[in-house]
Amino acid sequence: MKMVTFCRFALLFLVAPMMAVGAEPVYLTVKAVKSEPTRCVALSTLNVLSHADRWHERKGDTWDGENDWEVFFTLTADKTNSPPRLAMTCPGVKVSRVIVGRTDVKFTASGDRVEFDAVADRSNGMLINNSLPDPIGSGLPVGLYHNWRMRANPDAQGRVRGCGPYNGRPYPDLEARAVSNYLLAAREALRHMGGMGPRDTRLFDGNIVLLSFEVACGRAHNDFPPHVHIMLYVPGYTPGSQVTHFYMDERGRIVSNSFTELGVKDSRRAGNYGPGDVCRMFDLKGNLGLECVITPEGGILLRKKLGADEYLLIGDEQAGAAEKVCVIQRGRKLATCSSSDDAERGVITATVELTEECKPARTITQTLRYDPFTGRVLEQAKP
């Protein structure tokens, strides 16, 4: 099974800066949103009406395609950032919106052809994400990708079509739901732990970052198999930021961790960690930030160091991780975390049930509303 060890495009909306590594092509994602779910009756086309000597269509799986709601293309240029004028033809389809990156642009329509001026928004417009703030205010934000099943273009049997290594596999619905729940539980555990949040005084130089994964694999980014990221970003991002990839079995239990030190050649700590192996994340000065250990039962144990308080993230015994993930300390349940993300409607709901002295104490529910086609927040999450 192929395991991806670095989510190159998965980090765009988080706080740590990304350093440029060499000269990269200029990409533009261009997308037509249909007025209703349907399919083009013939192959859609994209024409470059200006700067045609600079801009060229990048074709291939995850670079262009169609699903029930969208037709998308990718353009590339070597150096210029001067956006071209474009025309898209979507045979048999009425276009309601045209989006470049994540920016709506004005267009003129004539039948199933639309013309418009592109803008310099280089965002990967097929990967829709948001950051869910901590409702209490002292904890970490959670970076969430909105895995709209429709974008995986499933066939009648529910198998993914396209999307890189997901092609031909069942859509990972259970894993996608479990990942969000693990991340919410990690946020709760790290707040209880203290000294980890953005407002805390930390004993290491960097930031802990919580991030989900995406199925759509826009621009050939293969975030596969489904996994949880609990990471330590150092100043400057690379070299030295450390990325865990906690992979699951078909029941949402954590079974392995593929660990990477970004930009560190011949890292002695990079590799696969199994149950019982201690994965340590350090800053550039050698200060220990966090330890992660997979338990035999399929959970993740978090602690500052050996001997410090330990917090276990584990799926609910009856419902499983796709429904609920619990935070356990010394045999006591501190919180139960659950979530739902209706990417078609653009609504994510996160619920944390807090427990004190083994009794329910407080339930906090957040609801965030967003544009399903751009990720733009329409209503910020509030407890």
**Which residues does 324 contact at the CB level (< 8 Å), separation at least 6?**
181, 315, 316, 336, 337, 338
User: Which residues partner with 266 through β-bridges?
Assistant: none
What kind and span of H or E run contains 187?
helix 173-193
Query: Which has more pLDDT, 274 or 17?
Result: 274
pLDDT band, residue 311 (cuts 50/70/90): very high
- State the Cα–Cα distance between residues 382 and 95, nearest whole angstrom: 34
pLDDT above 70 (res 128): yes
Other C-beta atoms within 10 Å of 56: how many?
Answer: 14
Task: Give the position of tokens 């310099």.
Answer: 120
Instruction: Return the DSSP state at 277.
Output: P
pLDDT above 70 (res 4): no
- State the Cα–Cα distance between residues 152 and 159, nearest whole angstrom: 9
What pLDDT does residue 80 have?
Answer: 74
For 317-363, write each residue's pLDDT tens digit: 999 999 999 999 999 999 999 999 999 999 999 999 998 866 778 99
pLDDT band, residue 21 (cuts 50/70/90): very low
- For the record, the structure tokens of 324 come out as 């609920």
For 181-233, write each residue's pLDDT tens digit: 999 999 999 999 999 998 899 999 999 999 999 998 888 887 899 999 999 99
- State the Cα–Cα distance between residues 262 and 98, nearest whole angstrom: 36
Residue 126 · residue 216 · CB < 8 Å: yes
Backbone torsions φ then ψ of 35, nearest 5 degrees: -75, -20
Assign 219 to helix, strand or coil. Answer: helix
What pLDDT does residue 383 have?
Answer: 66
What pLDDT does residue 23 have?
Answer: 54
Residue 226 · residue 175 · CB < 8 Å: yes
What pLDDT does residue 18 have?
Answer: 36
pLDDT above 80 (res 112): yes
Residue 210 · residue 141 · CB < 8 Å: yes
Task: Give the position of tokens 């928004």.
Answer: 121
- For the record, the structure tokens of 19 come out as 């350093």
pLDDT above 50 (res 307): yes
- For the record, the structure tokens of 176 come out as 């996608």
- For the record, the structure tokens of 35 come out as 């007025």
Task: Give the position of tokens 């209503």.
Answer: 379
What pLDDT does residue 217 have?
Answer: 80
Assign 80 to helix, strand or coil. Answer: coil
First vs last Cα of the chain: how many Å apart? 40
- State the Cα–Cα distance between residues 241 and 234, nearest whole angstrom: 5
- The closest of 95, 69, 211 to 145, measured between CA atoms, is 211
- State the Cα–Cα distance between residues 335 and 161, nearest whole angstrom: 37
What pLDDT does residue 88 have?
Answer: 98
* Amino acid present at 263: G
* Amino acid present at 153: N
For 81-109, write each residue's pLDDT tens digit: 789 999 999 999 999 999 999 999 999 99
Residue 156, CA distances (Å) to 42, 171, 176 in order: 21, 12, 20
What pLDDT does residue 360 have?
Answer: 74
Quick one: average pLDDT of 138-150?
93
What pLDDT does residue 137 have?
Answer: 79
pLDDT above 60 (res 155): yes
For 252-274, write each residue's pLDDT tens digit: 999 999 999 999 999 999 999 99
pLDDT band, residue 16 (cuts 50/70/90): very low
Nearest 5 degrees, angle CA 73-CA 79-CA 82?
Answer: 65
- For the record, the structure tokens of 211 come out as 């991030």
